């Protein structure tokens, strides 16, 4: 098996787990918001939701360098090999950061790492959008415009992920009341509103994933 086919396999696998995990997260969130269920049932739904969400969280840092490596191997990413290597180092560090945040709940350093993760994503959004715009206007980085468009769409999906995190801040405080057995109608409405506010960004992520898959398969160009 060639290195190209292996990387292409893992790139496609990331797409599958990202989209599939998002669908599972979305479905489980509906049970989390249901105040007619017991707190224990809702907490089980939340556990399932968070478990499903790990697929997209881990795939996001991996799908980017895999895609860039594919473009480089096919001569469609016109940069020195050191740039591709730097992209791998950055994204693997991002992957490790995501893993530490997932497996180290309750540690004192988690708030600082959470802020670092947020800042890294903001920097990536700005940087990737800048690269995409330069590539589209000059064709100096990607000979084909669709690759620059894919990069811009990826940056948009990272932005949507950040907006979902922001919209869930009120959910976290309200959920503590649910687990303490002190939730009232206002608390449950806050949870419903927080989850509902995330849905538009989830839809955009789904559209972005499907659009990038279509570009990758040359259904659109």
Over its length of 221 residues, how does the chain's per-residue pLDDT go in tens digits?
Answer: 589 999 999 999 999 999 999 999 999 999 999 999 999 999 999 999 999 999 999 999 999 999 999 999 999 898 899 999 999 999 999 999 999 998 887 788 899 999 999 999 999 999 999 999 999 998 888 888 999 999 999 999 999 999 999 999 999 889 989 988 888 899 999 999 999 999 999 999 999 999 999 998 888 76
pLDDT for position 221: 66
Q: What is the CA radius of gyration of the chain?
A: 19
- 108 phi, psi to nearest 5 deg: -65, -25
Of 17, 53, 71, 60, the C-alpha closest to 153 is 60
Tokens of residue 189, six digits = 């409405």
Task: Give the span between the Cα atoms of 70 and 163, in whole angstroms.
Answer: 29
pLDDT for position 139: 80
CB contact at 8 A, 128 and 68: no
Quickly tell me which residue has 């995409």 as its tokens.
Answer: 132
Half-sphere exposure of 85 (CA within 13 A, CB side): 3
Q: Whole-structure pTM over 0.85, yes or no?
A: yes
pLDDT for position 219: 85
Task: Give the span between the Cα atoms of 39 and 144, in whole angstroms.
Answer: 52
Q: Which residues of 64-83 are buried (b: 16+ CB within 10 A; e: fewer)?
A: bbbbbbbbbeeeebebeeee
Q: Cα torsion for 95, 67, 154, 57, to the nearest 10°?
A: -30
């Amino acid at each position: 098996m060639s290195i190209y086919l292996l990387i292409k396999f893992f790139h496609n696998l990331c797409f599958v787990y990202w989209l599939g995990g998002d669908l599972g997260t979305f479905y489980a969130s509906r049970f989390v918001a249901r105040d007619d269920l017991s707190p224990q049932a809702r907490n089980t739904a939340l556990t399932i939701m968070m478990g499903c969400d790990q697929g997209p969280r881990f795939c996001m840092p991996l799908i980017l360098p895999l895609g860039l490596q594919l473009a480089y191997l096919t001569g469609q990413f016109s940069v020195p090999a050191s740039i591709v290597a730097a992209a791998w180092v950055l994204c693997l560090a991002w992957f490790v950061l995501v893993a530490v945040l997932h497996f180290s709940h309750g540690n004192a350093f988690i708030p600082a790492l959470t802020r670092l993760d947020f800042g890294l994503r903001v920097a990536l959004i700005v940087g990737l959008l800048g690269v995409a715009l330069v590539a589209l206007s000059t064709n100096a980085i990607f000979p084909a415009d669709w690759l620059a468009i894919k990069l811009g769409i990826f940056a948009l999906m990272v932005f949507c992920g950040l907006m979902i995190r922001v919209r869930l801040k009120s959910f976290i405080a309200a959920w503590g009341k649910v687990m303490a057995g002190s939730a009232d109608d206002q608390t449950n409405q806050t949870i419903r509103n927080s989850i509902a506010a995330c849905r538009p960004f989830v839809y955009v992520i789904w559209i972005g994933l499907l659009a990038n898959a279509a570009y990758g398969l040359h259904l659109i160009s």
